[in-house]
């Protein structure tokens, strides 16, 4: 049997407070730090729903500014682009090392030409 998960929204209120709400349980509270939201709401949800505090999970969903969301999405897109480019660069390095090997260069010479150790050259041609 899977555990019940309650969704708690957390929205920045006045001053240093996060207002937390679990609509399903009818529970509302506030905390100073977002990392306190789940623990704070656990007791309230357990009381409202008649459950033991250790019998359910809580998933906190912070309500965040649109500017953050769009910037975070752009950062993730750029990270994926960088990872793709790194894979492409690694494949190009392997192709370059293999070309030198096919031209008859030793692993030490391949390393010297490519600016890597001979051990790394061996990895690239493998």
The predicted structure's pLDDT at residue 14? 83
Residues 101 and 110: their CA atoms lie apart, in Å, by: 7
Residue-range domain boundaries for the chain: 4-63, 83-125
pLDDT in tens, 71-114: 999 999 999 999 999 999 999 999 999 999 999 999 999 999 99
If phi > 0 it is left, if psi is from -120 to 50 it is alpha, else beta; for residue 77 that is: alpha
The predicted structure's pLDDT at residue 17? 95
Residues 99 and 10: their CA atoms lie apart, in Å, by: 57
pLDDT at residue 2 is higher than 90: no
Burial label for 45, CB within 10 Å (0-12, 13-18, 19+), is buried
The pTM for the full model equals 0.64
Please identify, in words, the CATH class of the domain defined by 4-63: alpha beta
pLDDT at residue 1 is higher than 70: no
pLDDT in tens, 9-48: 999 988 899 999 999 999 999 999 999 999 999 999 999 9
pLDDT in tens, 43-68: 999 999 999 999 999 999 999 999 99
State which H helix or E strand residue 42 sits in. helix 37-49
């Amino acid at each position: 049997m899977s555990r019940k998960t309650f969704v708690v929204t957390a929205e920045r209120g006045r001053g240093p407070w996060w207002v937390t709400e679990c609509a399903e349980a009818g529970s509302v509270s506030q905390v100073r730090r977002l990392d306190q939201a789940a623990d704070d709401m656990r007791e309230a949800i357990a009381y409202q729903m008649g459950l033991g505090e250790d019998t359910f999970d809580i998933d906190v969903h912070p309500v965040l500014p649109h500017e953050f969301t769009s910037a975070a999405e752009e950062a993730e897109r750029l990270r994926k682009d960088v990872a793709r480019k790194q894979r492409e660069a690694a494949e190009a390095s392997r192709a370059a090392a293999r070309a030198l090997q096919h031209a008859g260069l030793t692993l030490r010479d391949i390393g010297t030409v490519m600016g890597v150790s001979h051990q790394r050259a061996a990895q690239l041609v493998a």
